[in-house]
Amino acid sequence: MTQSPRREPEPFNVLMIGLGWFPEQTGGLNRYFRELFEYLPAARAVVVGGQGLADSDRVRTVSAHGRPLAIRLWALTRVIRKEARGASIVDAHFALYAFLPLLLGAFRGKPLVVHFQGPWADENVESGDASSWRLRLRRALERYVYRRATLAVTLTGAFKQVLVERYGVSPWRVKVLAPGVDLDRFAPGDRVTARERLSLPASAFVVCCARRLVPRMGLSLLLTAWAQLLAADGDDTSARPPHLLIAGTGKMSGALSEQVAASGLAETVRLLGRISDEELANLYRAADVNVVPSLSCEGFGLVVLEAAAAGTPTIATRVGGLPEALAGLDASLIVTPGDPDALAERLVAAERGELPDRYVTREWATRHSWNLVAERHRALYTGLLGEGPQKLRVVYVGHVAQLSGGEIALARLIDALDDVDAHVILAEDGPLVARLLASGVSVEVLPMRERTRDLRKDRVAVGRVPIIAFLDTTTYTFRLARRLRAIRPDLVHTNTLKAGIYGSLAARLARVPAVWHVRDRIAPDYLPRPAVPLIRALIATLPDGVVANSQATKRTLPSAPERTRVIYSVIHDPITQPPTRVTAASDRPFVAGMIGRVAPWKGQHVFLEAFAQAFGGGTEAAVLVGDAMFGDAEANYGVELRELTRRLGIADRVEFRGFRENVWAELTAMSVCVHASTVPEPFGQVIVEAMLAGVPVIAAAGGGPSEILTDGLDGLLYPAGDVDALAEALRRLRTDIALRKHLVANARVRAQQFSSGASEAALMSLYRSVLRK
């Protein structure tokens, strides 16, 4: 194992408590513990077992893994109490072994760091332990240790979410630090030589998988997917014969061998059993792709980094921290867990060569060198012993977890706030959770009953709120208030209309200042008329500060200029050079597009009717990007739109793209972007996105679009709902290339005014104003 370079003496003495000593005890936790330890030369360690120690002067070995648990725990506790006296910080990597010393006061007066690499109690259940009393005992023990730790460290945001939700740990006491990889041991090499050592043809398509052979690892599913790949290949395997190599041991070894034989896979699948580190590195070098098909309890997946360091990318399931582990490499490498069809489809694509380049993969892995990881731990230890600058602790309360406009705006806003330690509480699980975790944002889900969470706004009015929804919301408000009291933020920031109501109430109950972010026009043309006075009254009385996403929104709010600020949504600019997108009409097909949630008030039907009127019988194409997100009415509207294209005779020229997270890729394919809302839009993020992407914009006048665009200067405006006017604007941009260039050039300049810096400064000013009250 690579040794760290000698360093100057550390300003602290760290005692590390481990589960076992790698490689005597295998597994990701033990490998991680030993490698981190060896890159912290001033640290000392206490572990169970430990034959073949590299540095016995720094490591105290206790007992043996085969001895009774009670004897192990007592022996450990005696040694830990003695060793802890000379330590300034204790860093425990296994809750069970820290429990008794903590209970007996061995760490009193010393910061305690606990590394959380997975829910130990639940992992035992996954491994077949059906005892309910042992499950409860283990969970209680874990909860005791994690809640009393000065700081908990997780490898991913997904496991931070587990600590916060399941164990009740404050998000402010959890730090996410990704693990490292030994870049010397796991390094690219000659693939032909690596395959010769494994008796594999040089031209073969080779897939590897290094896992413990237990049910939660999904290996049976991998074999099912492998059989599908072979079926898809048929007899055409002579050029690149497929081979699947599975390394590891565990109780499923026999069952997997039987599945291989029964499925007729013996010629293409090999179970290698336990292999050495040297053999593992060679396996990665030989493979085209590594697979991690886990079904549950995956904190990070160190094998992802090990394979990448050897230049081999990994296909992994969307479980736990695996999406975060692969973040920044290739999003297509993530597949749905428990779905052999999805895994087989991605393996077939990999067989065709649809994988990240090996050099790129290796470069990506170098971001996780152990030197960098050790430096982050040193900074963490130093921070525990001193008083560094504290960021503002803000809880952001959201209602839904779909990637609709308000939720995307929230994610972008948090990304822009460098001086805020953000924690998001959502009333449901959904795509927004994964989006936030991938950005390194702390999240927890405090679920609300679906019947109330999905209550449509047209059912809400003064004196006309369903009683069951009122009771559910009241109960949820008290639960949220209790959670806020427990984690003690400096401020609460609510993000949607519903979240503004119960979030501001909960903040008042918890005695925490609240800011209500209003992203809806509180007007009769946007909300049910009876609900308007109720919402305005709540906004006037509940929050300490109000954010309106446009002047149009602010004009519909109660008059309170001293507590209300207009802060436009943050739009990140993906383009570093001025765009040159507008070309002659003959250079490429003319494509008119809309991006946004499929809903009647968004006006997709107006766009389609105008497109048919403008380009009947032509070669122009239309694109609709977006999905129905909320309720049957929107889903039915989506069906009606497809029927409308058939009635208008344009079905063969209209593409329904569905939801797409990468809006920039969709804009690249458009000649013009249309925003067709039939009632005034509160803001209109996609308008600014199109302006930044160099796409001319046509938008319905009124609301936010009229603040963003100046007609004829940086976009075209038309009367909302006017099919004839929209059709005329489309024809005009189709033929007037000079106008399109003029609009694009000016739009680019105008869009720069919606920078993250301006929004951050305005919001931080509001936060400080609220906190001074």
Residue keyed to tokens 């005779």: 649
- Most confident range, picked from 18-32, 583-597, 727-741: 727-741
Tell me the average pLDDT across 701-706.
92
Count CA atoms within 13 Å of residue 598 on its CB side.
Answer: 26
**231-237 long-range CB contacts below 8 Å, 24 or more apart?**
232/344, 232/348, 233/351
Q: Which residues of 652-671 are buried (b: 16+ CB within 10 A; e: fewer)?
A: ebbebeeeeeebeebbebbb
Going along 117-224, which residue ranges are E strands? 151-154, 174-176, 205-210
Q: Is 88 exposed, middle or buried (0-12, 13-18, 19+ CB in 10 A)?
A: middle
Give the pair of three-digit tokens for residue 502.
């119960």
Q: What is the pLDDT of residues 404-439, one digit of tens each?
A: 888 988 998 998 898 999 999 999 999 899 889 888
pLDDT confidence of residue 459: 52
- What string of H, E and C letters represents the secondary structure of 417-445? CCCEEEEEEECCCCHHHHHHHHCCCEEEE
**pLDDT score recorded for residue 545:** 94
**What are the tokens at 226?**
């492998």
- For 286-334, what is each residue's pLDDT tens digit? 999 999 999 987 878 889 999 999 999 999 999 988 998 898 898 899 9
For residue 593, pLDDT over 90 is answered with yes
Confidence (pLDDT) at 631:
74
Left (φ > 0), alpha (ψ -120 to 50) or beta: where does 658 sit? left
Q: At what angle do helices 302-309 and 28-38 cross, to 10 degrees?
A: 60
C-alpha span between 286 and 275 (Å, rounded) = 15
Q: In the chain, how many H helices and how many E strands?
A: 30, 26
Number of residues that make up the chain? 773
- Tell me what pLDDT residue 66 has: 79
Which pLDDT value is given to residue 583? 42
Q: Contact 709/715 with Cβ under 8 angstroms? A: yes
CA 239/CA 230 separation, integer angstroms: 14
Instruction: Tell me what the pLDDT averaged over the chain comes to.
Output: 88
pLDDT at 559: 74
CB neighbours of residue 386 within 10 Å:
8
Q: What is the pLDDT of residue 320?
A: 86
Across the range 236-263, mean pLDDT stands at 90
Q: What is the pLDDT of residue 491?
A: 97
Asked which of 46-55, 484-493, 573-582 is least confident by mean pLDDT, the reply is: 573-582
Closest by CA position to 82, among listed 109, 98, 58, 101? 101
> By percentage, how much of the chain surpasses pLDDT 90?
63
Q: How confident is the model at residue 582 (pLDDT cuts 50, 70, 90)?
A: very low
What number is the average pLDDT over the span 451-474? 68
pLDDT of 104: 92
Its pTM stands at: 0.83
Average pLDDT over residues 739-764: 86
How confident is residue 464, by pLDDT bands cut at 50, 70 and 90?
A: low
| CA–CA separation, 135 and 542 (whole Å) | 43
Looking at residue 462, its pLDDT comes to 45
Segment among 132-136, 206-210, 579-583 with least mean pLDDT: 579-583
pLDDT of residue 581: 45
Residue 578 pLDDT exceeds 50: no
**pLDDT for 629-675, tens place per residue?**
777 788 899 999 999 999 999 999 999 998 887 788 889 889 999 99
Report the candidate in 30, 158, 734 with the shortest Cα–Cα distance to residue 435: 158
